[in-house]
Each structure stands twice: as structure tokens, then as C-alpha cells.
Amino acid sequence: MIDLSALRPFASGDNRRCYQHPHDPTLCLKVLRPENIEIRFQRQLWLKKALGRTRINDNHQEIRAHQQQAIRKLIATGREELAWAHLPRFYGSAETSMGTANVSEFLIGEQGKPAQTFEHYLRHRGFDQMAQRAAEKFCDWLQKTGILTRNLLPHNLVISHRDGQPELFLVDGLGAPTIPDQLATLPAWRSRYINRRIRRFYLRIDWEIGDRRQPWSASQKL
């Protein structure tokens, strides 16, 4: 059991908190916020409630996302480094004092601090040349590997200097819903799905650095 009671999370979202492992600073521990999971569950229609709470468990979804065909194929064919080129390395789960945590690589940003989100970067520096190169490399990687994601939101990406170069890493939103995941066995469909995610990603970047007078729900329409 990993005791997190004396630690503060270095990042926190609606559904999870992230801690640096107290005994191994190279690892990140993602712990669910059960109170928020319960609120989400209670808001759902009874038909979705019948499917249980697992479907809104972000840790469970993340484990399933790492088992997707594209990642398994890369690892099985000796191209594991390509799989993790823009993902934090994933190490499964571990028990903590705050519940079961997903264990992944702790990504470092400038000056050894936790990697900042792409959203934070865009708001403070804009979509400059470095950000453009990083976004292009990330999108090329998606197309090359065929790895499926949900919508690419800047707050779910961080900028890390793993090998001295600033790169984008997806820390949340990996994997696709069940039906797209099943259809992804068709190469043409997979390519269209990924290209749509990329187009929407660039629309989101434009919205992030713009005046944001129009809500994102309207701006994202293709």
C-alpha cells in the first residue's frame, strides 16, 4: 500500500488527482475522485445507470485504452519506443491509501517541474513556432501509429522535455468509444477517424488563442 496521505497532488482534474510517487519520483499515480464519479453517475439516465459505474471510471477506461490494437501491435513487433513517443509509459495499477491508482511515467517540464499543460502554454506564449512543431510531430505520430484518442484537448496534453526536446504528450483522453474502437480494424475508417480528431485539434487551438467570444461547442463544428 502506497501512502499518499501526506502528499499534495501536483495536478487535479474533475475525475482524478495526480501524485508523484513518494518512493519513486519517476512515476505518476492517478487516483480517482469517487465523489465526482458518483455525481456523474447520478446525473445519468437510468438506461446508462444500468451499465454500472465502470464505464465512467477514468482509470478503468485508461487501462482499456492502452490495450487497443495499435499499441499492442507496436509492442508485439518490437516498436515499443514508438508507442511511447508521445504517451507517458504505462505501468498498470497499484494500491494506495486513496484507492487504486494508475501508474505511469512522471513527465518533467522545464526546470525539473511537472510538465505544464499545452493549454497553459498556449495562453501564455501562443501558438508559436515551437508549439507548431510539437503539434505537427504529435499529429504525424498519430497518423503513423494509428493510435486512437478521443477529442484532443490542450488541457489533456503536456509539454515535456523527456529527451531534451519539447514534445507533446497525451496524458488523458487516450482510446476511443466502443464502436469506433471496433471499426478501427478497417484501415480507411481508422485514418478518417484520426484525421477528424486532428482537424478538430487545430480548431481547438485556434479557439484557445482567439478571443473565445463564441463557445467551443459552436466553434468545434466541422
The CATH number of whichever domain residue 205 belongs to comes to 1.10.510
Do 100 and 160 lie in one domain? The reply is: no
The CATH number of whichever domain residue 30 belongs to comes to 3.30.200
Do 26 and 64 lie in one domain? The reply is: yes
pLDDT at 217 over 80: no
Task: Indicate the range of 7-11, 55-59, 65-69, 84-88 predicted with least confidence.
Answer: 55-59
User: Quick one: DSSP state of residue 12?
Assistant: E
Boundary-marking domain end, from 74, 89, 106: 106
Is residue 222 packed enough to be buried (19+ CB in 10 Å), middle (13-18) or exposed (0-12)? Answer: exposed
Domain coverage including residue 167 = 109-222
pLDDT at 149 over 70: yes
Do 136 and 59 lie in one domain? The reply is: no
Question: Which of helix, strand or coil describes residue 91?
Answer: strand
pLDDT of residue 55: 59
For residue 190, report the phi and psi dihedrals to the nearest 5 degrees. -60, -45
pLDDT of residue 91: 97
For 21-70, what is each residue's pLDDT tens digit? 999 999 999 999 876 566 565 566 655 555 555 656 899 999 999 999 99
Do 142 and 94 lie in one domain? The reply is: no
Helix (H) / strand (E) element for 103: namely strand 99-105
Residue carrying C-alpha cell 505518476:
28
